[in-house]
Structure 1
Amino acid sequence: MAYVPVPKDLSKIKTKVAFNLTKRQIICFAAALAMGLPLFFLLKDSAGTSMAAFAMIVVMLPCFLLAMYEKHGQPLEVVIKNVIQTKFIRPKERPYQTENFYAVIEKQRKLEKEVSAIVNGRTKNHDPRGKKSREA
């Protein structure tokens, strides 16, 4: 009997369209072919076959990387975007800051007390800075 390994995480399985390639890979390979092949034939006579082949490889390589490279399930453009954001756009130092929920509640309670005191007219003996005056 032949045993077939079945992956446990089915989210990593990608739908294959043709020739055991995904739709993304087919599109990227077609774009690489559309850019590289005409370049090779244009440069073959003037620069020689070796230089034309080298230029074709250099032009087609980004398309191949976009088609095949993945890191942690993310395609190359997402990885590059994340690297650019962390290296150049976002600040280098990100201090850990929290908002103390109890301090917010305490501040809200003090404000409500102050408002109720103003409404009830009990603030006649207070100056604007919040200190009691000596007239009382």
Structure 2
Amino acid sequence: MAYVNVPNDLSKIKTKIAFNLTKRQLICFGIAAIIGIPSYLFTRAAIGNTGSMLLMIALMLPCFFFAMYERDGLPFEKVLRNIIRSKFLWPRTRPYRTQNFYAYLNHAGKEVQRHGKTNQTPSHSRNKQKA
């Protein structure tokens, strides 16, 4: 009996528009063609076919990268934005500070022993002495 594999997470499936490409990929490839083809045609006479082709590839490569790169479901510009935020815009060290209740109890216990009072903390004893 024939069966079809169904993926577990349907949210990862992207709609394909034409040539089995997503809208984002079509737009980026179109931009690459708009940049690359004229650069090849206009520089072919000046630097030759090989140089012109390498220049065209170098100009089109970033567009291909933007179209195809995806990490953890995020496109490249969002990944780049997160890297810039974490490296340059936000502080590097974020110290985790807790309020150690046991250290406070230990400190208060030493204060009580130093003043010789068992039921009152030093702050209470100071307030009563002033009154």
Could you say which TM-score interval applies, normalised by the shorter chain? 0.7 to 0.9
Query: Match of 1:93, SS?
Result: coil
C-alpha deviation, 1:99, in angstroms: 8.0
Q: Distance in 2 between matches of 1:48 and 1:54?
A: 10
Q: Distance in 1 between matches of 2:67 and 2:11?
A: 19
- Equivalences for residues 41-60 of structure 1 within 5 A: 41-60=41-60
For the pair 1:70 / 2:70, whether they are aligned, the reply is yes
Query: Match of 1:20, SS?
Result: coil
TM-score calculated relative to the size of structure 1: 0.70
Letter in 1 for 2:60: M
C-alpha deviation, 1:94, in angstroms: 0.7
Letter in 2 for 1:35: I
TM-score calculated relative to the size of structure 2: 0.73
Percent identity of paired positions between Structure 1 and Structure 2: 53
Q: Distance in 2 between matches of 1:41 and 1:98?
A: 65
Report runs of 4+ in structure 1 exceeding 2 Å deviation.
Answer: 1-4, 97-100, 130-134
C-alpha deviation, 1:86, in angstroms: 1.2
Letter in 1 for 2:57: I
Q: Distance in 2 between matches of 1:25 and 1:94?
A: 38
Aligned CA RMSD, in angstroms, stands at 2.0
Letter in 1 for 2:25: Q
- Equivalences for residues 97-108 of structure 1 within 5 A: 97=97
State the match for 1:91 in structure 2. Answer: 91
Write the deviation string for residues 52-107 of structure 1: whole angstroms up to 9, x where unpaired.
Answer: 1111111111110111100000000011111111111111111124689xxxxxxx
Letter in 1 for 2:58: V
- Equivalences for residues 110-121 of structure 1 within 5 A: none
Letter in 1 for 2:29: F
Query: Match of 2:60, SS?
Result: helix
Letter in 2 for 1:91: P
Note closer, same or farther for the CA distance 1:99–1:9 as it changes in structure 2 (3 Å cut).
Answer: farther
Bigger helix fraction: 2
C-alpha deviation, 1:44, in angstroms: 0.5
Structure 1 unaligned segments of length 5 or more: list them: 101-129
Query: Match of 1:6, SS?
Result: coil
